[in-house]
Amino acid sequence: MAEMQRAWKEKLEQAEKRKLEDIKELQKAGIAFKMDNRLPNLVNLNEDPQLSEVLLYMIKEGETTVGRYTPNSKHDIQLSGVLIADDHCVIKNTAGKVSITPLREAKTYVNGKCILDPTVLQHGDRVVLGGDHYFRFNHPVEVQKFRRTSCGTTLLHDGPKDFEFAKNELLIAQ
Domain range annotation of the chain: 1-30, 35-173
pTM (predicted TM-score): 0.77
Per-residue pLDDT of 73-121, as tens digits, reads: 999 999 999 999 999 999 999 998 999 999 998 999 999 999 999 999 9
Please report the DSSP string for 6-37 in residue order. Answer: HHHHHHHHHHHHHHHHHHHHHHHTTB-SS--T
Q: 35-173 sits in which CATH class? A: mainly beta
- Give the pLDDT band (50/70/90) at residue 146: low
Pairing of strands 108-110, 126-129: antiparallel
Mean pLDDT of 149-171: 71
Per-residue pLDDT of 19-63, as tens digits, reads: 777 777 776 666 766 666 788 999 999 999 888 888 999 999 999
Buried-state track 105-125, b at ≥16 Cβ within 10 A, e below 16: ebbbbbbbeebeeebebebbb
